[in-house]
Structure 1
Amino acid sequence: MPGLLRGVARTAVVAGTATAVSNRVSRRQQGRWAQQAPSRPAAPSLVATPPLPPSAPLTDDMNDKIDQLKRLGELKAQGVLTEAEFADQKRRILSD
């Protein structure tokens, strides 16, 4: 039993140390990026979409489609979907 506890404790220490180091590296990298950000020119917006007029209420069907597209975009951003899969699913949602 003491051998098992020692192994568990060692694993916890190693995992905690790895997490602390990873967090420190992430914070350090964020700081570097923050310092470099003002020197880079802002990227132009590729798509300008006008806002919907306030008097045009969205239907429940349109709200469902927007929610589906948001979830689809999140999956693409996470790398779960490829660009082709994203385009295919988006086409299916919008064609309904």
Structure 2
Amino acid sequence: MGERFQVKRIQVKPRAKLSVQLHRHRAEHWVVVQGVAEVLNGDKTMTLLENESTYIPIGAKHALSNPSDTELLEIIEVQTGSYLGEDDIVRFEDDYGRV
């Protein structure tokens, strides 16, 4: 973590998905390091394989899911921006009941 960046390793279990969300102060770069990712990025849905990536600009709705029945999905997320706090998340849909 630095003043304007943060790096996270994110794992998504088979058939699981993360919330549909956006950020007002940060952009994200996602790189798939294991598995297959189904990604919502703005108005586009895409499938990313190992060693593929996507850039999510500030304000873009996005989501991440693992379509596999058996394999773990792992990505590296690089956040950049003026504010990187977890309260910069605006959620639209969430399987875990978070707001």
Could you say which TM-score interval applies, normalised by the shorter chain?
A: under 0.3
TM-score (norm 2): 0.19
TM-score (norm 1): 0.20
